Amino acid sequence: MDIKVYPESFDPWQEIQSHQHSAHNMAGKFGATSIFIGTMRDFNEGDEVKGMTLEHYPGMTEKQLEKIVAEAVRQWPVIDALVVHRVGDILPNEPIVLVAVWTSHRGDAFDASRYIMEALKSRAPFWKKELLISQAERWLEKNTDGYS
């Protein structure tokens, strides 16, 4: 299990590849890998967005993400998981979040990765502030429910 918070842009595909290559214990054991990547859009709520700043609570962020991954491991037979999240200044088209889950079978991979992602959205202490094309800044007030 690996949790990373990056202040600089990252390549999610490279992260997945290097994590999988370094996890020798799971070679031959996993049959399913579920990958979710969240990427910054250049639009939100009808406005053009030119950038965003992601603030976080260092320490609590990692603690909450570790708890969320541990909850997923208790509920599904997860072989390995990787969670990567950006902080700092982000531009459209840059990745914000990566959740990758390795399991023996696909159902568990889908379910565990969705659980981690939805729990991250409601509990991991990150906050987005958008910078609009108009130069106005605004804090996002609330994440939407991913199931509705």
The residues that touch other proteins, with contacts defined as CB under 8 A, are 38, 54-57, 59-60, 63-64, 85, 96-97, 117, 120-129, 139-143
Q: Which is nearer to other proteins, 28 or 46 (CB)?
A: 46
Q: Which is nearer to other proteins, 4 or 121 (CB)?
A: 121
- Residue the block writes with tokens 């994440």: 143
Buried-state track 122-145, b at ≥16 Cβ within 10 A, e below 16: eebebebebbbeeeeeeeeeeeee
- Residue the block writes with tokens 């030119």: 50
For the CB of residue 144, give the shortest distance to other proteins in the complex, in Å.
Answer: 10
Q: Which amino acid is at 36?
A: F
For the CB of residue 105, give the shortest distance to other proteins in the complex, in Å.
Answer: 25
Q: Which is nearer to other proteins, 31 or 57 (CB)?
A: 57
For the CB of residue 52, give the shortest distance to other proteins in the complex, in Å.
Answer: 10
What lies within 8 Å, CB to CB, of 77 at 6+ separation is: 103, 104, 108
Q: Which is nearer to other proteins, 29 or 67 (CB)?
A: 67
